[in-house]
């Protein structure tokens, strides 16, 4: 594609605006034509177990932005009673994304917001997720992110969801 074709908004097959630029492992757009990381498909309906497994795989691979999209799908398609859980987990994943990108303030804010969100969940271990451990991880990482001058390693800082 030449640059004149990029002046119009990219559209998905249904006609919705969707940026077609390749992305790196942290979800940052790359120039057209550059190799990127395959995008996480949107709108996938998974079981809670499958959501946790796929998100953990992506977190372990240093791809928290993609894990955030998995949690977002669960938040949007799952039972209403679980939406707060999936939203909080999405916030944790995107908080790690920002921290790994070097956005210390945004990363810390989202990590703390996600920790607060999971503290409000009624089930202490939904799908085997150790929420208390995860909240502690998020608060500790938020404190570290604010203090350190360089971005954290996404894979090296990724949590174990099933502590």
Please determine, for residue 99, whether its predicted confidence score (pLDDT) is greater than 90.
yes
Please determine, for residue 26, whether its predicted confidence score (pLDDT) is greater than 80.
yes
Asked whether 18 and 10 are in contact (CB, 8 A), the reply is yes
CA 40 to chain centre: 11
Asked whether 162 and 110 are in contact (CB, 8 A), the reply is no
Selected from 1.10.10.10, 1.10.3450.10, 3.40.50.970, 1.10.390.10, the CATH number assigned to the domain covering 48-157 reads: 1.10.3450.10
d(CA 98, CA 26): 8
The pTM score is 0.86
- Residue range 60-98, pLDDT digits in tens: 999 999 999 999 999 999 899 999 999 999 999 999 999
Structural domain spans, the chain: 1-39, 48-157
d(CA 94, CA 92): 6
Please determine, for residue 23, whether its predicted confidence score (pLDDT) is greater than 60.
yes
Longest dimension (CA), the chain: 53
Residue that the structure tokens 């001058």 belong to: 149
């Amino acid at each position: 594609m030449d640059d004149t074709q990029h002046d119009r908004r990219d559209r998905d097959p249904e006609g919705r605006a969707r940026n077609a630029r390749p992305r790196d492992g942290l979800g940052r757009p790359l120039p057209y034509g550059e190799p990127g990381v395959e995008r996480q498909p949107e709108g996938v309906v998974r079981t809670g177990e499958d959501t946790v497994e796929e998100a953990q795989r992506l977190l372990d691979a240093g791809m928290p932005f993609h894990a955030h999209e998995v949690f977002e799908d669960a938040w949007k398609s799952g039972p209403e009673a679980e939406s707060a859980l999936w939203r909080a987990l999405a916030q944790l994943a995107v908080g790690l994304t920002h921290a790994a990108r070097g956005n210390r303030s945004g990363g810390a804010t989202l990590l703390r917001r996600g920790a607060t969100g999971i503290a409000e969940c009624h089930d202490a271990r939904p799908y085997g997720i150790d929420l208390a451990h995860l909240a502690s991880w998020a608060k500790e990482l938020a404190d570290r992110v604010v203090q350190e001058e360089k971005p954290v390693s996404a894979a090296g800082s990724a949590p174990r969801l099933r502590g």
